[in-house]
Homo-oligomer: A and B are copies of this chain.
C-alpha cells in the first residue's frame, strides 16, 4: 500500500512526532510505502514529495514544526466541484497512491470528509493548538500551547506584582477559549476572558479592583476572539467596530488602556503570538501525536477509511469524520462557571 501524507493549515507542535509514529508503524511494521507532500497541497499540486522511511524521521519526536512543511494552499482551485474531484483523482492515481493520511484541523478534516465521500481512501490525524475539534478529548499541540501560555503568566505575574500593575495577556483562540481557560486556570489568573462568554467592561474592572483591594496585582488572560458584552463603542476609545468587538492592535491592547482608565491601576498588555505554536512539543503532545500516527497507520492497514484518530480517555479510537467536523468544540458552561466563581 502506498500512502500520501500531507499537512494542511497552521503548524502545531507534535506534527513531526505524528509523522514519525505513522512512518515507523506503517513502513517498518506494516510494510507500506509512504510519501510526504511538501508544504501541504502545494506539494501535491506541484509534485514536490519526500520519501518517508525510518532514516527520514530519525530524531523527530521532540522537534517543533513539521519537516515536510505545511501551508494554507487549498486542495481544489474553486469549490470541490465534480470537475475538481475528477482532476484530483487523476492526480492521486498519477502518484500511485492507495490512500491519504491528512494531518490538520477542522478545515482539513472537512476536506478529508469530502475526499472520502468521493471515493478516495482517507484517514485523518487531528491537530490544532486551539483544541476546538469535536469528538476528541484533546488534539496534539494544545498542551504545548497551554504550557507556553502558562509560563508567560508565571513570568508576567512576578513583574506585575513588583510594580502593582494589572497585566493582560492575549493568547490564541479566535472562536474557542480553551488555551485561555487552561492556561488561566494553571496560572491562577484573576480573570479569564473567552469568546464563548462575553463579559461587560464593568465586570472585568470589578474583578481587577477587587484583587487590588485584597492587596494583590491581577492577571487577566484574554483569548484573541473575546468581545466585550454590550455596546463596545462605549468602552473602546478607538478601533471599535461598532458591535463591541475590540479591533485595533488586538483585544489585549484595546482592553488594557480601558482597564487602566476606569480602575486607575497601571495596566500593561502582552500579546503572546506565534511563540505559542512553535518549538519543542511537551511530552504529553509527543506521546499523543505518536499514538495518533500509529493509530492512523493501523487504520490504513485495516482499511478503516473515513475515520479520524481521536483521544478518548486514555485510548486512541478511530471515529467517523462526521463526529469530528460537525461542530466546533467550544468551552462549555460548566467549565467556565468553574473558574468564574472565584474571579476577583
Q: Flag if A283 contacts B69 (CB, 8 Å).
A: no
Of the candidates B183, B188, B290, the one whose C-beta lies within 8 Å of that of A185 is: B290
Smallest CB separation, A293 vs chain B (Å): 11
CB nearest neighbor in B for A13: B158
- Chain B residue numbers with a CB within 8 Å of A187 are 61-62, 286
Interchain CA distance A163-B282 in the complex, whole Å: 21
Oligomeric state, in copies: 4
Q: Flag if B188 contacts A62 (CB, 8 Å).
A: yes
Q: Flag if A163 contacts B286 (CB, 8 Å).
A: no
Partner-B contacts on A (CB < 8 A): 10-11, 13, 15, 20, 24-25, 28-29, 39, 58-66, 69-71, 137-138, 143, 146-152, 154-164, 167, 182-183, 185-188, 216, 249, 268-275, 277-280, 282-284, 286-287, 290-291, 294, 312-314, 338, 341-342
Give 19 new A-B contacts, CB below 8 A, not counting A62-B154, A64-B155: A24-B342, A29-B341, A61-B185, A61-B186, A62-B150, A69-B161, A70-B162, A71-B164, A155-B277, A156-B274, A156-B275, A158-B279, A183-B283, A185-B291, A186-B283, A269-B273, A270-B275, A271-B273, A294-B338
